[in-house]
Amino acid sequence: MTETILNRADPSAERPTDSQPLYRQLADQYRRAIGNGVLRPGDRMPSMRAFMQRHGVSLATATESYRVLERAALIDARPRAGYFVRVPPQAALPAAAEPDLALPGAAQFVGIHSAISTLVSTYQRYPHALNLGGATASPDLYPTGALQKAALRALRARPTLLTAAGPDQGDPALRAVIARRALAAGIQIGADDIIMTHGGIEAVNLALRAVTQPGDTVAVESPCFFGLLQALESLGLRALEIPTSPSTGLAIEALAFALHTHPDIKAVVVVPNLQNPLGSVMPDAHKASLVELCARAGIPLIEDDPYRELVDGVQPPRSLKAWDTDGTVIHCTSFNKTLAPGMRVGWINGGRWHPRIGMLKFAQSRHNEQLSQVVLAGFLETSAYERHLRRLRDGLRLQRERMAAAVAASFPDGTRFTPPCGGMFFWIELPREVSSAAFFDAALEDGIRVMPGTVFSNAGRFDHFIRLSCPSTDLDLADEAVRRLGRLAARMAAHAFKR
């Protein structure tokens, strides 16, 4: 029965009991979503395939629904990119075709959430797709057994861990061991200078709330982790995207220019070590210059640093906080990437905003769950954590080497990427004629999940970029998936060229 419906040529034949044709009912749903701001100017509409699957309708019905919206001047079709909510002429963004990214453009209110929601709802329909778009390593690269044993020991020693409330700032023993370990990053703080958080994203949210008000401008890297763009949107903040290099990180000169020309900048957010998605590591000289620049301007510098210990080498690089002499840097990090993604344990040192962040944390979510903190405290105090980090870095290095070789061998001419010196991300530039949004949809159909470049910017950049990650320890399986992606990119590039 479903097959018959999907193959009908007449969209009005798929008519429900309501007298209005289904395609008009669906068009009215999206008309209302656009009218009340759920879908905003510039938001990408679902692809035809996604629309058909979401509503259980035929291609003819989906096409006619979009024609209704087009005739009402609510959406526009962009060649090889899909349909987008129409941007009225008076609200048009600065020319997206401008190739010169040496200087930042205008700050914009962030509108990325609907795009992320569409992305998530799309890939949730493919639960068995191989995930080459994630942001954590494979579970078998983490010390699952050791953490399970540590949890059992903790519960035997402290039976009320699950039933008693913990300290507001977090477990004292964990904060003490974090303060000792922070010395390796060049950070000199005490246990009382640390507040435990629900992962790194809560730490960043707290930092932003402490130093901004709705309507303020925040300077961010470009490309930028989409989770940060979502956080900015939820707080009603503008994002000013600063060009960022895959080798040296955020462009200090461009930020200096932005601070001079945009006096409404209230904070800068940076991932200095293994930036997401570029994988860049900022040199020490750049880190020192960045901290000095923000201190001189009186602008808080929010450092998001969850990947530092994944950088290759015997000694991981230092954090920005190592150069902070007056509390300018708010340091945020977590153990999500290095030890236990499922525990969601992060922490923050708020610099001179630390008391306000403590108040905001108490108001927002109170104390963190205790068991995970006690488990981590016991694990971090032993040499097991350092042994685990060495194994994790070695495992990720092997995966990156295999993935780099597979990309180089399989992707078409015009593909460019810079292999990172640690972590799990590859930021890949596809041939210009290949849309990452279309590539995302086609890859999912082939059972592979990637991250399209469009979600790493709020300014319409990076449409022909993708982020790949190395979450699978089955190297042969990952190699074959990358080869399939390469063949897909080649087909899409050749098809676009013929057109």
Q: Is residue 459 part of a domain?
A: yes
Q: Is residue 189 part of a domain?
A: yes
pLDDT band at 93 (very low <50, low <70, confident <90, very high): very low
Pair (238, 374) in one structural domain: yes
Q: What is the predicted pLDDT for the residue at 13?
A: 41
Burial pattern 161-179, b for ≥16 Cβ within 10 A else e, equals beeeebeebbbebbbbbbb
Pair (394, 470) in one structural domain: yes
Angle between the N-to-C axes of helices 48-55 and 113-123, in degrees from 0 to 180, rounded to the nearest 10: 70
Q: If you average pLDDT over every residue of the chain, what do you get?
A: 88
Q: Is residue 261 part of a domain?
A: yes
Angle between the N-to-C axes of helices 252-261 and 284-297, in degrees from 0 to 180, rounded to the nearest 10: 10
**pLDDT value at 367 more than 70:** yes
Mean pLDDT of 377-391: 95
Q: What is the predicted pLDDT for the residue at 102?
A: 52
Query: How many folded domains does the chain comprise?
Result: 3
**pLDDT value at 7 more than 90:** no
Give the side-chain half-sphere CA count within 13 A for 45.
31
Q: Which of 293 and 89 is assigned the larger pLDDT?
A: 293
Q: Which of 412 and 13 is assigned the larger pLDDT?
A: 412
**pLDDT value at 9 more than 50:** no
**pLDDT value at 121 more than 80:** yes
Report the alpha-carbon distance of residue 147 to residue 134 in Å, rounded. 22
Report the alpha-carbon distance of residue 216 to residue 155 in Å, rounded. 45
Residue range 159-194, pLDDT digits in tens: 999 999 889 999 999 999 999 999 999 999 999 999
Mean pLDDT of 417-422: 92
**pLDDT value at 407 more than 60:** yes
Pair (63, 8) in one structural domain: yes
Q: What is the predicted pLDDT for the residue at 79?
A: 67
Q: Provide the CATH number for the domain around residue 25.
A: 1.10.10.10
Q: Which of 413 and 52 is assigned the larger pLDDT?
A: 413
Q: What is the predicted pLDDT for the residue at 116?
A: 85
Out of 335, 354, 385, a domain closes at: 385
Pair (392, 317) in one structural domain: no
Residue 215 corresponds to which tokens in the numbers above?
């309507």
Cα maximum dimension of the chain? 71
Return the percentage of the chain with pLDDT > 70, whole number.
91
**pLDDT value at 71 more than 90:** no
Mean pLDDT of 381-395: 95
Mean pLDDT of 116-145: 91
Pair (264, 281) in one structural domain: yes
Distances (CA, A) of 21 to 24, 315, 410: 5, 65, 46
Beta bridge partners of 243: 222
Q: What is the predicted pLDDT for the residue at 358?
A: 97
Pair (76, 194) in one structural domain: no
Q: What is the predicted pLDDT for the residue at 91?
A: 35
Q: What is the predicted pLDDT for the residue at 6?
A: 24
Mean pLDDT of 117-139: 90
475 CB-contact burial (10 Å; exposed 0-12 / middle 13-18 / buried 19+)? middle
Mean pLDDT of 384-392: 96
Pair (353, 436) in one structural domain: no
Out of 318, 352, 385, a domain closes at: 385
Q: Which of 360 and 107 is assigned the larger pLDDT?
A: 360
Q: Which residue has the tokens 């980090």?
A: 389
Burial pattern 259-270, b for ≥16 Cβ within 10 A else e, equals beeeeebbbbbb
Residue range 195-207, pLDDT digits in tens: 999 999 999 999 9
Q: Which of 382 and 89 is assigned the larger pLDDT?
A: 382
**pLDDT value at 53 more than 70:** yes
Minimum mean pLDDT among 108-117, 207-216, 218-227: which range?
A: 108-117
Q: Is residue 165 part of a domain?
A: yes
Q: Is residue 108 part of a domain?
A: no
Q: Is residue 106 part of a domain?
A: no
Q: Provide the CATH number for the domain around residue 374.
A: 3.40.640.10
pLDDT band at 41 (very low <50, low <70, confident <90, very high): confident
| Under 8 Å between Cβ of 152 and 159 | no
Q: Provide the CATH number for the domain around residue 451.
A: 3.90.1150.10
Pair (369, 460) in one structural domain: no
Q: Structural domain of residue 381, as residue ranges?
A: 144-385
Q: Is residue 113 part of a domain?
A: no
Pair (418, 473) in one structural domain: yes
* DSSP class per residue in 342-409: TT-EEEEE-GGGHHHHHHHHHHHH-SPPHHHHHHHHHHHTSTHHHHHHHHHHHHHHHHHHHHHHHHHH
Query: Beta strand pairing status for 425-429 and 465-469?
Result: antiparallel
The amino acid at residue 57 is V
Out of 385, 414, 431, a domain closes at: 385
Q: Is residue 109 part of a domain?
A: no
| Under 8 Å between Cβ of 106 and 66 | no
Residue range 455-475, pLDDT digits in tens: 999 877 899 999 999 877 899
Residue range 283-308, pLDDT digits in tens: 999 999 999 999 999 999 999 999 99
Pair (335, 380) in one structural domain: yes
Q: What is the predicted pLDDT for the residue at 120?
A: 83
Mean pLDDT of 327-339: 97
**pLDDT value at 476 more than 90:** yes
455 CB-contact burial (10 Å; exposed 0-12 / middle 13-18 / buried 19+)? buried
Pair (420, 493) in one structural domain: yes
pLDDT band at 344 (very low <50, low <70, confident <90, very high): very high
Pair (45, 25) in one structural domain: yes
Q: What is the predicted pLDDT for the residue at 19?
A: 57
Return the percentage of the chain with pLDDT > 90, whole number.
70
Q: What is the predicted pLDDT for the residue at 81?
A: 73
pLDDT band at 5 (very low <50, low <70, confident <90, very high): very low
| Under 8 Å between Cβ of 8 and 60 | yes
